[in-house]
Structure 1
Amino acid sequence: MGLTFAATLTERGFDVSFELAPGETLAVLGPNGAGKSTLLTLLAGLLAPTSGRAALDGSVLFDVGPGRRVLTEPRQRGVALLAQEALLFPHLTALENVAFGPRSRGEHRAAARARALQWLDRVGAGDLARRRPAELSGGQAQRVAIARALAADPALLLLDEPLAALDVAVAPAVRTLLRDVLAGRSAVIVTHDPLDAFLLADRVLILDGGRIVESGATAEVLTRPVTAFGARLAGLNLVLGRASSTGFTADNGLDVPSADPLPTDRRLALIVRPGSVTVSRDPAAPPGTVRIGAEVDDVEHRGDLVRVHVAGLAADVPPADVVALGITPGLRLFVGFRHEDASIYPL
C-alpha cells in the first residue's frame, strides 16, 4: 500500500501532498527553509500538522482536521530516522546500539543481538561490534547508525542528509552501502547533493517555500528541470521563453531556431550545459550558433575552470581565456552556444 501523505503546517507555510509506492525511495531536495526537515519531522511524529492525513501500509500516522485528531506515537509508526550525525548511545557498544531497536519491541536479548550482528556484518561493521561510539570514526559510526535503523525493521526509513557529516573520502563508500540496503525498501531521503538523488532515489521531489515545485522520476527531474533550483542541481542553464515564428524566444532576448514545431500555448524551457556555452568579445555568431550580449554579472572559480555569468547563462571558461579576454564583472561580453547543444521542451 505504501505511503500517502498530505499535511499543512500553517505557521511554517507548509502544504505538501505526495504518495510513495512500496519499496520506492524518494529524494527530497530544496533550498534552505524549503520545508524538507518539516516533512521528515511530520513523518517521524516529532511534529504535529495543522491539518492533514498520512498513512503507511494502511496504518494511520496522523489524521488531523475538524473534529478529529489522531497522532500515532513515534515508536508505534514503524518509521526509523537516520540523521546527519550518527547519534549513537555513547554508553553502549556498537552491537548493543544496533540491538536496541529489536529489544525495544520486546525481542529476546539473544535474538536481538543475533539480528544486530547480522546487520553489522551487512554494513561492513561486524568487527566493530564491541567498540563504543567514542572509538569509532565518523564513517564507522554512520555504518553502525545505518545498521541500527534497519535492525528495527522499519516500514519506512527516513534519512536526513546522511552523508553530510562524512569526510569526502568516506562518503562514496557509505553512499554505495545505502544504495545496497535501500534496494526494495520504502525510504525518504532529504539531501542537498544531486548525486544522492541520482544514485539512491527512484523519484525526486523538490520543495520551495513549503510547496512542491517539481516532482517526478529522478532522471526526468534532473535532466529536464523546470525551476532554477532544479537546473542548478542538475548543473544546467535554464532559460524560459515561448515559441516564436522561427523557434524559441527566451525571456532574456535570445532567439534559438528550432527545426521541430514548438507548442505555442504554454511556456517553454531551454537547457544547455555551462561547458557548451562560449564567450567572446565578438557579437557575430558563427553559422549554427546563437549569441547574446550583456554585462558580466559574476565570475567564480570552480576548480580548473572559471564560471562566467552573463544574461542569465553560465559559461565554464578556462582561466587562460578569462585573462586573454579581460573578463571581469561589468564587462560587456557575448555568450552563446550551438543550436544542437540546447534542448527545448514545454513546461
Structure 2
Amino acid sequence: MTELLAKADIEAAVRVLRSGQLGGPDHPEVRRFESALAQQSGVPHAVAVGSGTAAIHCALIALGIGPGDEVIVPAHTFIATATPVLMTGATPVVVDIDDSTYCIDPPAVHSAVSSRTRAIIAVHINGHPALVDQLPQDVPLISDACQAHGARLFGQHVGAMGVASAFSFWQDKLITAAGEGGAVLTSDDSIADRIRLIRSHAMEQIPSSPDFHHVTLGYNYRLTGVQAAVGHSQLSRLEDSVRERRARALRLAELLTEVPGIKPPIEREGAQHAFWKFVVEVEAERFEGGRAGLMMALAEFGVRTAPRYPVPLTRQPVLGGGNARLMSCPRAESLADRLLTIPLPAEAGTIDGLADLVKKAADAQRR
C-alpha cells in the first residue's frame, strides 16, 4: 500500500474528476468510503475528515474535552497525538511506554489518572495494538490507530476499540487517500453526529428555509470525493496487503534474532501486528558509534534506515512551559537513542538478503 498508487486507484480518482462533483461531506464517494471503513472494523459509524490529526481533534471535541481537563498520551509517538489536546485547551499528560511493544504503559497510565482525567489516547504504535485491555476501564479511551490499519487484538479490530478510534490516510500509510485524509470510527451515535456537524463548519439548514446557519464552532475538516475514491480503492486490498506484509515482517524478525545487538519487533500474544513500520531496538553500546554508527554501516551496504522518534514528547518544545504535565518516562527516554526503522521490502524473496546485509553491517560495526 505504501508503494505507488495502483491502476485501480488512479482510475477511481479520474472517475471522480471527470464527474465534476469533487467535494462536500455528503459526496457519494465519501459516504461509500465511510460505509466500507465502518463495515471493515465492525462499528456502525465512520466519519471521514481531512487528516488523522483532525480525527483525534474531533474525537476530543465530541467528548466535550476542554480547558481544565487532562488527557493521557504516550511519550513515544508523533506529536499529533498530543497537539489536538492542546487545540481543545486541555492539558496532555505524557506517560511512559511499555518496553516490548513501545505502546503506552498501562501501569504508568493508572498512576497518572487524576480527578481531571477525561480521556486516554492509546497509540497502536508502528502497527502493534496497544495494551488496551490493561488500561483503566472507567476513563474514555480514544484509539489512535493512525499507524495500525488492519491490526487486531484478541480478534478485535483496532477501529472498534474505545469510544472512538482515529485513522490517518497520509501518503505513506498502509492506506492513503490520495496523500492525506483521516476518519473517526465509533459505535456511539452522539459522537458520530457531533463529528459530522463540526467537520463542515457546524452548518445546519434553517427550518423551512433554503439558508444555513452555524450552530457551534466548526472546522473545515472535510475529505474530498477524489480522496475518498482512492482510499476506498485501497481499502479493498488492505487485508491481502497486511497478510503479505506480516509474512515478510515475521520472517525478517525471525532472521534478525540471530544478530547480536539487534532486538527485532515482537508480537504480543493475541495481537495482530500490521507492521506499518519495522522497528528494531539497537543495543547501542555494542556498536562503534552507537545507533548512528550502525546506521552508517547499513547505508554502506545499501540499507537506508532512520531513527524512530529520537525526541520523545517529554522533550518537545510545544509541550514545555507548563503546556503539559510531563511524567517520568525513563523507558521512552532510553529508547529514543536505540530504536531504528528498517524498510520492509515489497517482495518476500528479498527478505533473506536484507537480513544478511543487516548481519554484515552489524558484524562490521560491532565492538
Q: Do they superpose with TM above 0.5?
A: no
More strand per residue: 1
Larger RCO, structure (CA 8 Å, separation 6 or more): 2
Give the TM-score taking structure 1 as reference length.
0.25
Give the TM-score taking structure 2 as reference length.
0.24
More helix per residue: 2
